[in-house]
């Protein structure tokens, strides 16, 4: 699904643009997904697991998102570079149609510039336009930067799944589920 582009200004004064991902972004997104997976332990995959992604696979994925009435894939573009991405999606089945899932990632060099906050505000606007009643996300225990952002945006912890993630250093971490209610 497409949405209207939204210009933003980062905390350092740099202009940026929140826009729908395009099929022609596929090559840059493949590089971005591999790189960001190596910048933190809190991304779902490791770089070597993403290395087999092809531009053609990403093009098909993006085309599917564009055609979907239940999914939006947003990129933040800074000086012509994809700085981050997020997505919001929902299941159209009536029993769960009120719930939306969100996810977010940024290149490390763009952390702490306000992109995450701007992306969450846009995802919330989209969710409200869809008539969703709550947003949900999961994150890896130990991701304190992420947790702080999610709490700032109004998400509350509702559950933990122990030993949900086994990291390459041998440690195990819980998955933490958070929810934000959009209807008071």
For the chain, what are the domain ranges? Answer: 6-135
Q: Assign 184 a pLDDT band (cuts: 50, 70, 90).
A: confident
pLDDT attached to residue 118 = 98
pLDDT attached to residue 116 = 97
CA dihedral 78, 80, 83, 87 (to 10 degrees): 100
CA dist 8 and 170 (Å) reads 40
Token representation of residue 85? 């991405």
Domain made up of 6-135: CATH architecture: 3-Layer(aba) Sandwich (3.40)
CA dist 132 and 89 (Å) reads 10
Q: Is the Cβ–Cβ distance between 5 and 17 less than 8 Å? A: yes
- 131-174 pLDDT tens trace: 999 999 999 999 999 999 999 999 999 999 999 999 999 999 99
CA dist 171 and 87 (Å) reads 28
- List Cβ neighbours of 67 (8 Å cut-off, separation of 6 or more): none
- What is the H or E stretch that residue 169 is in? none
Token representation of residue 154? 């109004």
Q: Please give the model's pTM, rounded to 2 decimal places.
A: 0.94
């Amino acid at each position: 699904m497409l949405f209207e582009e939204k210009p933003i200004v980062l905390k350092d004064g740099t202009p940026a643009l929140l826009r729908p991902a395009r099929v022609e972004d596929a090559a840059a997104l493949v590089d971005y997904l591999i790189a960001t997976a190596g910048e933190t332990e809190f991304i779902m995959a490791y770089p070597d697991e993403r290395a087999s992604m092809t531009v053609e696979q990403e093009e098909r994925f993006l085309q599917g998102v564009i055609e979907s009435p239940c999914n939006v894939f947003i990129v933040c573009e800074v000086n012509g570079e994809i700085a981050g991405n997020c997505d919001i999606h929902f299941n159209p089945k009536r029993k769960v149609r009120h719930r939306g899932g969100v996810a977010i990632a940024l290149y490390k060099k763009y952390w702490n510039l306000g992109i995450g906050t701007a992306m969450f505000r846009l995802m919330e606007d989209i969710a409200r336009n869809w008539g969703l009643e709550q947003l949900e996300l999961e994150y890896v225990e130990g991701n304190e930067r992420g947790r702080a952002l999610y709490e700032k945006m109004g998400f509350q912890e509702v559950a933990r799944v122990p030993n949900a993630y086994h990291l390459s250093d041998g440690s195990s971490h819980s998955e933490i589920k958070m929810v934000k209610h959009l209807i008071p």
